[in-house]
Structure 1
Amino acid sequence: MKKYLIGAAAVMMISGAAQAQNLVKNGNFENTTLTESKQFVNQVTDWQNAATSGYTGYGYNFLLKPNTADTTGFKSLGGNLDKLYGPGAGADAANYADNGFTATSPTGGNFILADGDTTFHGAISQTINGLIAGNTYTLTFDWAGASWFTYAGNTTERWDVTLGDITKSTDTVKLGPKGFSGWKSASLDFVAGGASQKLSFLAQGTPNGLPPSLLLDNVSLTAAVPEPGTWMTMILGFGVVGGVMRRRKAATPQLV
């Protein structure tokens, strides 16, 4: 009996992992109608850029195509062309910095650039469906802090992430002039408050006027998988139940 119970629990573990479904659509930002690196409104499929009272009327959030951020640059809705400091610019370029910046996402494709200056920032978001109220979900994503060309100063960067009415934050990174933090992986747990809730990312940084820049890619939201200790507790529980059932069967009088 014990062998069968352990086997059943193992099957549950494997099945749970196999059925983990990413509830975020276009979490790698590859689906877009944009043909260049540019500030977006709704041209990144399934994502919306918040309307604000800032310079362009929308959050200063950009879709970046691979190998453009520190070379050809990215355009705002107002027509500005900006760049990030990085090695791709060439040693003689004004925005050259041997800071380790990689002009592609960790998966080699598109990614998001967001300005954390409170004068310009606005959230990007999408509505997540298929949630179960009260259940825990794990949000994972890749992110980094970068430096905006012509603004060479010390900055701090972090993401504020909201699902429904719960907001959590990444660690805060501190960059020196022309710096790059390198890509990092984040994992945040949220308890769903309903079947459909808005997921949003808001760039936060300091100081205003030295655009604290954040990068984002590879966003995934899945049902949280129980820890190994939880599975073991379940297995032991099954074993106890099985033992009780065997004792009850042995104690049952047999009619002759």
Structure 2
Amino acid sequence: MKLNSTALAAILISISSFSAQATLNNLVYNGDFELTSNGVGQLGAITNATGWTSDYDATHFGFNFILDKNADKTGFASENTASKGTNIFMWGPQGSEGRFSDNGFKQSHNGGNFLGSDGAYANTKIWQNINNLVIGNKYTLTFEWAAGQFTDRTGETTSNWEVYFGNQAPVSTEIKSVGSKGFNDWSFKEFTFEAKNTTETLAFLAKGTPTGEPPFAMIDNISLVPVTPVPEPETYALMGLGLVALVARRRAKK
């Protein structure tokens, strides 16, 4: 079977198109929480993460914080009434003011900021609107998350994240258990959603137990990309024939 130059060009364009689809831009803005107004601290009170909104309930800002690798050393500030003007710390290998636990606490894989939320006190959603969606198309959400604890309490805790996409029922990560003064390492999670509207709200809510023993869920590297279409078998065959024709043509020229 011979393919003319026009057909061969069409095949190569198709191959290029499939490759481009695999590297589509992330639809989540500031999914790594690197863009902030004032570094680490409580969202809405001390700092803000560009693109994200932290809900506020009837009495105080939600216990959502921008953290970095020093969350166990220098901590992060809160403006809630009970701890106004003081820093909160996480149990970690370095600790601060005698707060020490060799629990393996570390930052996320990108090495920068990440978000942490109390799952049992003032737990409110963080969210942003995702635009330019195609109704009926599916989108893959990926992120990494970990679980730890504040240093002002001890005891076993559990943590997980609830994920909301538009008006669809929320989905949940697995539950991570954390021993007293402990840390449960970063792991990756993936969900798939179908767009019902051209704009959908993507939201995260930390959950945990027990109340009064601060369970702390962390999240980073949030990405939402369209599901890459899989070529039909006929397309694979056409691509293969095109490559064979290209090789044969080069040999003939030699």
TM range (shorter): 0.7 to 0.9
Letter in 1 for 2:51: D
Structure 1 residue 210 and structure 2 residue 216: aligned? no
Deviation at 1:192, TM superposition (A): 0.8
Structure 1 residue 14 and structure 2 residue 16: aligned? no
Among 175, 178, 193, the alignment partner of 1:190 is 193
Deviation at 1:219, TM superposition (A): 0.8
Structure 1 residue 101 and structure 2 residue 97: aligned? no
Any stretches of 5+ residues in structure 2 without a counterpart? 240-254
What does 1:40-51 correspond to in 2, within 5 Å? 40-41=43-44, 43-51=48-56
Letter in 2 for 1:39: Q
Among 10, 25, 28, the alignment partner of 2:29 is 25
* Structure 1 residues 188 and 2: CA distance shift in structure 2, 3 A: farther
Contact 1:21 1:223 in 2 (8 A): no
* Structure 1 residues 204 and 9: CA distance shift in structure 2, 3 A: same
What does 1:209-248 correspond to in 2, within 5 Å? 209-226=212-229, 230-231=230-231, 233=233, 235=235
Find the residue that maps to 1:182 and give its secondary structure.
Answer: strand
Q: Which residue of 2 aligns with 1:157?
A: 159
Structure 1 residue 140 and structure 2 residue 145: aligned? no
Find the residue that maps to 1:188 and give its secondary structure.
Answer: strand
Structure 1 residue 83 and structure 2 residue 85: aligned? no
Deviation at 1:6, TM superposition (A): 6.8
Deviations 1:34-88 (A, max 9, x none): 14x211117211111001135xx22100011x33210111111221421110002
Contact 2:69 2:113 in 1 (8 A): no
Distance 1:73 1:50 in 2: 22
Deviation at 1:232, TM superposition (A): 5.3
Find the residue that maps to 2:22 and give its secondary structure.
Answer: helix
Distance 1:110 1:152 in 2: 25
TM-score by length of 2: 0.82
Contact 1:84 1:147 in 2 (8 A): yes
TM-score by length of 1: 0.81
Q: Which residue of 2 aligns with 1:71?
A: 73
Deviation at 1:164, TM superposition (A): 0.2
Any stretches of 5+ residues in structure 1 without a counterpart? 240-256
Letter in 2 for 1:158: N
Distance 1:231 1:101 in 2: 43
Percent same amino acid at aligned positions?
A: 36
Contact 2:69 2:112 in 1 (8 A): no
Moved >4 Å (runs of 4+)? 1-9, 236-239
Letter in 1 for 2:235: I
Deviation at 1:165, TM superposition (A): 1.3
Find the residue that maps to 1:231 and give its secondary structure.
Answer: coil
Letter in 1 for 2:101: A
* Structure 1 residues 177 and 62: CA distance shift in structure 2, 3 A: same
Deviations 1:99-132 (A, max 9, x none): 1101x33111111110000x41000011111111
Q: Which residue of 2 aligns with 1:34?
A: 38
Deviations 1:176-212 (A, max 9, x none): 1111111111111111111111111100111111111
Deviation at 1:8, TM superposition (A): 5.9
Structure 1 residue 177 and structure 2 residue 196: aligned? no
Q: CA RMSD in A?
A: 2.2
Letter in 2 for 1:154: E
Contact 1:138 1:189 in 2 (8 A): yes
